[in-house]
Amino acid sequence: MIKRQTTINRIFKLSGIGLHTGRTVTLEFLPRREFGIAFVFGGSLIPARYDMVADTRLSTQIAAEGASVATIEHLMAAFYYSGITNCLVYIDGPEVPIMDGSAWEFYHEMWRAGVYEFPEAGVYLKVLRPVEATLKDAWVRVKPLNTLDITMTIEFRPPVGKQRKRVMDVENAVSIINSRTFVLHEEIEAIRKAGLAKGGSLDNAVVIGGESIVNPHGLRYKQELVNHKILDLIGDLYTCGYRMLGKVEAHKTGHHLNNLLLREIFSDPENYAIY
């Protein structure tokens, strides 16, 4: 259990292709004394916080000082699982690279860099009252609990169907971190017409065909798709700036609803406590 603020123990770099831009992007990770995760792009400092979220179409994008960085959710989940609270990420493009579609490569490099602990606490956000965000038949809610307990339900056409999974804090961490983003085959054309997924391929996403998974090697885990939705949720929740303590239940949620939940939590100081 993380008790104090932390940062990475050494500088490291990673490069890859942006899922939506198709551009090669390099990230440089630097230790940070100040609290929180922040990106630096084009000379602008962009805190990785819920109130900096500017767009949630198919990814979480943050913006500040006239600059923006998209697709931060997998990297944020890697920070969460690595126990990193403070870090500066210098990026030379407008989107975090997709890597293999999961958070594994980010997490692995953070593990190799190691963790440095500061004396200061104040890393947890404890939910004190039930809070909910809904949109049509999708919803995400959180109730008071002394740990992070997530139950995720997804529902898509066959062969995915309805899937449900519950995880406690960093339980099943490897299978969550290593689960890839996914897309229905019939949605790809519309996504690309919208100018997105220019860097998408079978190397960085699971494609769901009419009757089966298109990727030659199939799924990494039987529940890889619901696993990835949990990964996205954890990454989005970490933009609250803290490690959340609460019982989270999510049904067909996405980046937009995840952000709405955080905005609802912070709309009233009686909803939470920091320690």
Which sequence positions are flagged as catalytic? 255
Q: What is the secondary structure of 87-133 as a DSSP string?
A: EEEEESSSB-B-TTSSSHHHHHHHHHH-EEE-S----EEEE-S-EEE
List the one residue out of 56, 57, 95 whose CA is nearest residue 204: 95
The Cα-based distances of 56 to 62, 88, 164, 180 in angstroms read 9, 22, 23, 18
CB 103 within 8 A of CB 81: yes
228 annotated as a binding-site residue:
yes
Backbone angles phi, psi at 110, to 5 degrees: -65, -40
CB 199 within 8 A of CB 17: yes
74 annotated as a binding-site residue:
yes
CA atoms within 13 A on the CB side of 35: 14
Residue 202 CA to residue 214 CA, distance in Å, equals: 8
Residue 49 CA to residue 5 CA, distance in Å, equals: 16
CB 150 within 8 A of CB 166: yes
Residue 206 CA to residue 44 CA, distance in Å, equals: 34
Binding-site annotation, residues for Zn(2+): 74, 228, 232
Binding-site annotation, residues: 74, 228, 232
